[in-house]
Structures are given as structure tokens and as C-alpha cells.
Amino acid sequence: MSLPTISLESLVSSKSFDKLLTIAKSAGCASSSCGSSAKPDEMDSAVWEKIKDHPCYSEEAHHYFARMHVAVAPACNIQCNYCNRKYDCANESRPGVVSEKLTPDQARRKVIAVANEVPQLSVLGIAGPGDACYDWKKTKATFERVASEIRDIKLCISTNGLALADHVAELADMNVDHVTITINMVDPEIGAKIYPWIFYNHRRHTGIDAARILHKRQMLGLEMLTARGILTKINSVMIPSVNDEHLTEVNKWVKERGAFLHNVMPLISDPAHGTHFGLTGQRGPTALELKTLQDRLEGGAKLMRHCRQCRADAVGLLGEDRGKEFTIDQISDEITYDASKREAYREVVARERGDHVVAKSEAVATVKAAGSSKSLLIAVATKGGGRINEHFGHTTEFQVYEASQRGISFIGHRKVEQYCLGGRGADATLDSIIAALKGIDIVLCAKIGDCPKDQLAEAGIRAMDVYGYGYIETAISALYAAEFGSEPLAATA
Ligand code: CLF
Ligand code: SF4
């Protein structure tokens, strides 16, 4: 039996769940790569086991797996100048939207409701709206309740690090394999410009004294996690003229102390959010400034470039938010966990992933074989699964890839307004999409009409749907080879 092309849409829609089950139960496998592992050759198998289904710790996994956050931890022990407590924790969450705060019991019900309906769900994260380690009782109670029913769900937290060291042993006991610490400085003088105060050992500390304590506690927490084999991701908020240059130093420090990933995120600063930085005119970095810094950091602690700065109650694949479908008022008091969708999805994805890995490595070899020093920036409309499977007019985010002598790399995303609403495209929206795609050479999507295609072409961006539903890297390699290899340009109109 040959495997059908899998679009995330077909896998997750309840209407096609029977089809998903049929594929999952089918005997044998016609996949060219059945049994292939997506594990990178250089990665330790134990580490791969921990990250292979985690959408934040593996760029590859983020095409297939989803996270959800439950907003159970509203209290915080520090003040960041980019945070207004009325909103979500800006360490891990886009400020500007108030979350639905939950008790641990409500959180348990919500996680079960999502697990029953969203087969991609693999990770439960607690990322605010305050600090997961400071508001520890609620964090712990939530994890214990959920893990006792959904045994294979990965538990993940995000913290500012001040109270982390007090809970590392319990995190290890609960099998929490993934901890994010937000570290914006290793120099307390810079820290004093970011943190006006912290609350530690029953009293408030301010200025350099506060930043020094926070720094020491963050390093201690990181070292304790590394000693226990817990994977640590460091989030750093890039604040122009405050810590942007300094983040190279942060990268070195955290690498030396065993951090698995470093995620540099742009400051989100808007006066409407009422934050200190927002109200005092501190700007965030441009996309180019962020990319330039990330490029400079290559070679140090491994970088995460696919972060979406999620809300503290986000649900779904990174880049999508299905939170509104799962508000607590829509969830029954008596809900029970049904593993069938998640299990069937995992079986299908395991096969699909093997094929994807083979296709990807062939694509990278093709790009390298072109022997060109040129690069191409390609924006892709996708719903996941590593395929070009979203219409231009429906997408709210393009994934951006760079093809160059080094291969094919995911380098970020560009958020856009949805162009097509109610069957019609809006010109003003198209203008804003074109502006958001500045610097992009080619747009790949499953379908695009002549009107937006022509207007993109006028702006110097080639848009095409001939590679629709194929693997992203395969299309990119064909385009790159056609453009810079010895073959003439083909099939790109
Ligand atoms: Fe959530 Fe964070 Fe865990 Fe992921 S998010 S607690 S590590 S499960 Fe991921 Fe969202 Fe970026 Fe965070 S994309 S903001 S990095
Ligand atoms: Fe706000 Fe999070 Fe900073 Fe606490 S750690 S002040 S909740 S951004």
C-alpha cells in the first residue's frame, strides 16, 4: 500500500480520523525510508529521545508536534522592564492579551480536552503568566495531575531562574526534561537596566544588588539542571542598546554551563502594553537586526530560530493558537482521556518523518552540489508536516528558509494578516504582506491567484504554487539548482 500525501489538515480534522486510523493500522509500509530515523547523526540517542517530539527543542519536530500552555502560575518574584503584570509573562509570551487563569484541576481538564482533540499534542508547558518556579505549588500540582493520566506527555517549564534552584530535585523527580530560563545578562550593571527589583529571601532588592543575585541564581539553576541531565533552553530578550551586544557574552556563559539551546527573542515594546520599556520609548530590534545577531552567535550555544513567542495559554502547533476552542467553560467536569487520536497520529507521523528525512538530505545534497556562493530566501505557506500545504490567501505566517552553500536552513518566520477573507483578497492587506516579505526572493504556497502573484512579482518576489503539497526542502533544492546550478530554470511559473 502506498502512503498518501499527508497534510496536517487531513490528519487533524475529526472528519478524516477514520482515514488516519486506516493509515496507522495498515500492514507493511511502502515508504522508501521505512525505519529511517530523523535523528541527526551527531546527536546522542538519549538526547534525541527527549527532543524528537518537542516542537520547541527540535525545529524538525515543530512541523509535526504541538504544545499547550496552561496559565496556572500568575505570581512572580521579579519585575522585568518589558512586562506589565496585567498581561502574560513576556519571557515566553507575547504581551497584550490576558490569559484565562486556571486552577490545577481546571488545567487537568483542559489538557485532557486538548489531548482528545489535537492529535499533535506532545508537550504541556507552564510559561506564566507569572513564574512557574515561584508559583511552585500550582505548577507541581498541575504536572502531577496531568502526568498521572497522560503518561507520555512531556512536561516543560519556563522560569526567570530566581527560584529555580529550590525545585530542581522535584523537577527531576517529576521527569521534567525541559526547562527554559530567561537570561538577559551576565553583567549585573546591564541587568540593573532590565530589572528594577527582585523579591528574594523575604525582601525586595533593587538595582545592581538585585541583578547580581538574579545572575547568581540563574547560573546556579542552570548548572544544577545540567548536572541532572535536564535539557535547558535559554531565552534572551534582545533589547537594542541595552543588551544586544552583550548577548554574545551570555551565549558563551550558558554554553559553558551546558545549555542545550539559546533562543534570542526580539523585545516586544508597545506603549499600549503599559510596560516600562513601552512607555519610555525603548524600541525592539528589526527582523534584520535579530537575524544579524543570530548569525553572529552561530558556532556558540546552539540557536533556536523557530520560536513564536507564544501566549501563556497557547494551544496547537507553534504559530497557530487554538486556545479559544478550549476555554474552560466549554469543557465538561467529567472528562476522561482517550488516547486513540494521539496514538494513531504518532504512528503515521513516524512513517512520514522517515520519508521527510530522506527527502531533506537529498535536497541539501542538491543545493551543496550546485557549488554556488549565492543564497536564496524562500517564504513558505505551510500548515505543518514539512510540506507546502497552505494557500497564499489563508496563511497568517510564512516560514522562512535560506538556501546557500551551507545547505537549507529554517531561519525564522514572518507574520502577516490573512489576505483572503470571505473569498476575496484585500489590496491593503496585500500591501502589508508585501512589506512583511521584504528581502524574500520566492514565495511557495499550495495555491495563489494571478492578482496577488502579479503584485508580488512587481515587488520583486516570485510566488508559485507548482510545488504545492510537496516537501519544502525538495522544492527549495529544485529552485536553487535551477537558479544557480548548471540546469536551466524550470517549472517555476
Ligand atoms: Fe512552552 Fe517554552 Fe516549553 Fe515550548 S514555548 S514552555 S519551551 S512548550 Fe517554544 Fe513558545 Fe518560543 Fe517558548 S515557541 S515561546 S520557546
Ligand atoms: Fe513579567 Fe515574566 Fe518578568 Fe515576571 S519573569 S516580571 S511575569 S516577564
DSSP string, 4-66: PP--HHHHH-GGGHHHHHHHHH-SS---TTTT-----TTS-HHHHHHHTT-TTT-TTGGGT-E
Q: Is the CB of 91 under 6 A from ligand 2?
A: yes
Please tell me the predicted confidence (pLDDT) of residue 10: 53
Q: Is the CB of 251 under 6 A from ligand 1?
A: no
Please tell me the predicted confidence (pLDDT) of residue 35: 39
Please tell me the predicted confidence (pLDDT) of residue 28: 40
Q: How far is the CA of 91 from the centre of ligand 1 (A)?
A: 10
Please tell me the predicted confidence (pLDDT) of residue 289: 94
- What is the residue with the minimal CA distance to atom 10 of ligand 1? 310
With cell 518556579, the residue in question is 133
Kindly write down the DSSP assignment for every residue of 334-385, as one continuous string: T-----HHHHHHHHHHHHHHHHHHHHHHHHHHHHHHT--S--EEEEE---BT
Please tell me the predicted confidence (pLDDT) of residue 100: 73
216 vs 211: CA distance, rounded Å: 9
Q: How far is the CA of 304 from the centre of ligand 1 (A)?
A: 11
- What is the residue with the minimal CA distance to atom 11 of ligand 1? 307
Query: Ligand 2 test: best mutation among 89, 217, 276, most atoms within 8 Å of CB?
Result: 89
With cell 483542559, the residue in question is 110
In the predicted model, residues of the chain with pLDDT beneath 50 are: 1-8, 14-15, 27-36, 95-98, 488-493
Q: Long-range contacts of range 270-277, CB-CB < 8 Å, 24 or more positions apart? A: 270/95, 270/96, 272/96, 273/84, 273/87, 273/95, 273/96, 274/84, 274/86, 275/81, 275/82, 275/83, 275/84, 275/90, 275/95, 276/81, 276/82, 276/196, 277/81, 277/82, 277/239
As to burial, measured by CB atoms within 10 angstroms (0-12 exposed, 13-18 middle, 19+ buried), residue 336 is exposed
Q: How far is the CA of 124 from the centre of ligand 2 (A)?
A: 20
Q: Is the CB of 180 under 6 A from ligand 2?
A: no
Backbone angles phi, psi at 318, to 5 degrees: -60, 135
- What is the residue with the minimal CA distance to atom 6 of ligand 2? 79
**Ligand 1 atom nearest residue 127's Cα:** 6
Q: Is the CB of 179 under 6 A from ligand 2?
A: no
As to burial, measured by CB atoms within 10 angstroms (0-12 exposed, 13-18 middle, 19+ buried), residue 198 is buried
Please tell me the predicted confidence (pLDDT) of residue 41: 72
Q: How far is the CA of 92 from the centre of ligand 1 (A)?
A: 6
Give the pairing type, strands 376-380 and 442-444. Answer: parallel
Q: How far is the CA of 81 from the centre of ligand 2 (A)?
A: 9
> What pTM did the predictor assign?
0.86
Q: Is the CB of 349 under 6 A from ligand 2?
A: no
Please tell me the predicted confidence (pLDDT) of residue 17: 58
Whole-number mean pLDDT of the chain?
88
Answer for the pair 214, 197: CB distance below 8 angstroms, yes or no. no
**Ligand 1 atom nearest residue 93's Cα:** 14
Query: Ligand 2 test: best mutation among 69, 77, 80, most atoms within 8 Å of CB?
Result: 80
Q: Is the CB of 130 under 6 A from ligand 2?
A: yes
**Ligand 1 atom nearest residue 123's Cα:** 8
Minimum-distance ligand to the CA of 180? Answer: 1
Q: How far is the CA of 159 from the centre of ligand 2 (A)?
A: 9
Please tell me the predicted confidence (pLDDT) of residue 21: 56
Q: Single out the residue of 280, 356, 261 nearest to residue 55, CA to CA.
A: 261
Please tell me the predicted confidence (pLDDT) of residue 154: 97
